[in-house]
Amino acid sequence: MVYWWFSVAAFDTHAEWHFALNAALHLLVAACLGRLVFKLSGNVLISGFAATAFALHPGMLIVGLWSSMRFDVLATLFSVLALGSLAQQPETRSNWLGVVVFASLAAFSKEISFVLLPAIAAHVLLTDSLTWKARIGRLATLALPFGMAVAARIWFLSSVDTQLNLANPFSGILRGALGWLENLPDALLGQPSTGWISSLAAAVLLGALVALFAFARIRIVDRRWAVTALLVFVSPMVLQAPVFQLVLVLDEPLSTPSNFRFYYLAGIGVVLILSLLFSAINLSTALRRAAKAATLVVLGLLTVRAHSATNAWTTGTLGEAQRVVEAASSIALTTKLEAPCTVFMLDVPEYVLEFPHYSDAAIKSQLPTTHPALGCIFVSERSPSRNFTMGATCDDSAWKPFATRTKGLSPVPAKRFGKLCIHHFADLPAEKQIETPRPYVFHWQQGKFIRTANAPE
């Protein structure tokens, strides 16, 4: 949140600067990953390829650019720095302090970094040079900050709407994990529905895993890092399974770019697995030249895909999506709205994917803090994930026929933070729009919102 406060204070709502800052953070993750790989392999070419491939991978790049995914990127950055301290030689107390500090920062950035706990624990337990007393002592110093982070996260989740399947959590976890694996091949290539090519990529990764542990067994690869890399890759699947099941309502979950976040930290594990494997292979001169040529081809393809992905991203965020939000904000500024009221922004093009989810927040971010429209709610055909109101009642019943969303079997009531109220409304059937408090209905036509005749004057 400190990072968010800094960027908003510095750049306000100028999207270009936020994107530039996000891109810089993503590149920093890639650079730290390259440094970690160099510590493990001692090979400049392998570490350079690892860093460049991660930086250019279209799925990873989009996560880096997406502003609300900063928590994933920050957590991954601190996770890589923690692993870098773990790889530091010799294994001194000061280096372990770096592990604890960076792992703690990662844990409080986002819960995805909780995967560090089993990964680092496995590494410590497999370190034969440490006595069992020293191993237990190190794990104890790591467990304290992670325990605090877990407690804080549980408290947070108890106070917000998560839409998780709490009635049958195990089936939700299983369904989410299987869905994560099913979409893994597409995530490896950075695009949805790539057919047999993505299946080939998954087969290559599986072969790499088998080879890695075969080499670890005969001591060609450090078994500690083989297990650590595997856990960094696999643990995000288990940890995020309850949430990933929610995106399976989409036929192609990765068609929504933000869903690549489920594979961002796992991507670090994939890079570590492949780097450990390639550093263990002794190639002849001819094969080494062929490998360098293949590396250039892969980087070239990644560059083309990264260019295509960023073009699509800028078109979707600085293009039509920006025009839709600006048009909606203009309506809010120029229309005489009497709070409390409901403003419907309908028929927005389907390719402006995120507008239904963030319509209320996106529009109000463009308004002065004293504007009367802040006492109204903005919705499209679907209710946004949250509605924010100021100066209006915080009682959900005042917004009938909107119904409060439920978490498990219990409704999630509105909460007040100072003058701000946060509401969690379920989707409203179209026929009930006219029953909402002071409805104003607008339709997107020919690049602007047009008010319908049956809206109140």
pLDDT digits (tens, 9 = 90+) for 272-323: 998 998 888 876 677 677 777 878 888 888 888 787 877 777 766 666 777 8
Same domain, yes or no: 163 and 268: yes
Q: What is the pLDDT of residue 151?
A: 86
Q: What is the Cα–Cα distance from 4 to 18, expressed in whole angstroms? A: 10
At 336, the amino acid letter reads K
Q: Rounded mean pLDDT of 161-172?
A: 59
Q: What is the Cα–Cα distance from 240 to 5, expressed in whole angstroms? A: 27
Same domain, yes or no: 270 and 162: yes
Last residue of a domain, one of 239, 265, 282: 282
Same domain, yes or no: 276 and 341: no
Q: Is residue 320 part of a domain?
A: no
> Is residue 160's pLDDT more than 60?
no
Q: Is residue 371 part of a domain?
A: yes
> Is residue 354's pLDDT more than 50?
yes
Domain that holds residue 77: 2-282
Query: Which one, of 118, 96, 111, lies nearest residue 152 by Cα?
Result: 111
Same domain, yes or no: 353 and 241: no
At 141, the amino acid letter reads T
Last residue of a domain, one of 219, 252, 282: 282
Burial class (CB in 10 A: 0-12, 13-18, 19+), 359: buried
Q: What is the Cα–Cα distance from 335 to 441, expressed in whole angstroms? A: 12
Same domain, yes or no: 343 and 263: no
Q: Is residue 121 part of a domain?
A: yes
Q: Rounded mean pLDDT of 236-247?
A: 84
Q: What is the Cα–Cα distance from 344 to 429, expressed in whole angstroms? A: 12
Residue scoring higher pLDDT (317 or 236): 236
Same domain, yes or no: 100 and 28: yes
- Residues paired with residue 422 on neighbouring β-strands, in sequence order: 388, 415
Same domain, yes or no: 191 and 64: yes
Q: Is residue 314 part of a domain?
A: no
Last residue of a domain, one of 247, 265, 282: 282
Q: What is the pLDDT of residue 457?
A: 43
Q: Is residue 248 part of a domain?
A: yes
Same domain, yes or no: 257 and 383: no
* Choice among 77-81, 86-90, 138-142, 374-378 with the minimum mean pLDDT: 86-90
> Is residue 226's pLDDT more than 50?
yes
Residue scoring higher pLDDT (255 or 415): 415
**Tokens read off for 445:** 């036509």
Long-range CB contacts for residues 100-106, cutoff 8 Å, separation at least 24? 100/141, 100/142, 100/145, 102/78, 103/78, 103/79, 103/142, 103/145, 103/146, 104/145, 104/146, 104/149, 105/78, 106/74, 106/75, 106/76, 106/77, 106/78, 106/79, 106/82
DSSP string, 368-392: -TT-GGGGSEEE-SS--S-EEEESS
Same domain, yes or no: 352 and 224: no
Cα angle vertex 88, ends 84, 91, to 5°?
Answer: 130
Q: Is residue 292 part of a domain?
A: no
57-98 pLDDT, tens digit each: 988 988 888 777 888 999 999 999 999 999 987 677 888 999
Same domain, yes or no: 277 and 341: no
Residue scoring higher pLDDT (81 or 356): 81
> Is residue 3's pLDDT more than 80?
no
Q: What is the pLDDT of residue 297?
A: 83
Q: What is the pLDDT of residue 456?
A: 44
Same domain, yes or no: 346 and 435: yes
Q: Is residue 293 part of a domain?
A: no
Q: What is the pLDDT of residue 119?
A: 95
Q: What is the Cα–Cα distance from 199 to 325, expressed in whole angstroms? A: 39
The share of the chain scoring above pLDDT 90, in percent, equals 26
Q: Is residue 316 part of a domain?
A: no
Q: Give the range with max mean pLDDT: 163-172, 182-191, 234-243, 406-415.
A: 234-243
Residue scoring higher pLDDT (264 or 319): 264
- Kindly give the residue spans of alpha helices, DSSP state H, lying in 218-284: 223-247, 264-280
* Choice among 25-29, 117-121, 384-388 with the minimum mean pLDDT: 384-388
Q: What is the pLDDT of residue 26?
A: 93
**How many domains does the structure of the chain reveal?**
2
H or E segment at 46?
A: helix 44-56
Q: What is the pLDDT of residue 114?
A: 92
**Mean pLDDT for the chain overall:** 83
Same domain, yes or no: 123 and 267: yes
Q: Give the range with max mean pLDDT: 60-74, 140-154, 192-206, 262-276.
A: 262-276
- Kindly give the residue spans of alpha helices, DSSP state H, lying in 335-366: 355-364
Query: In this structure, what DSSP letter does residue 111 have?
Result: G
Residue scoring higher pLDDT (310 or 136): 136
Residues 188, 194, 198, 199: what is their CA dihedral angle, to the nearest 10 degrees?
Answer: 150
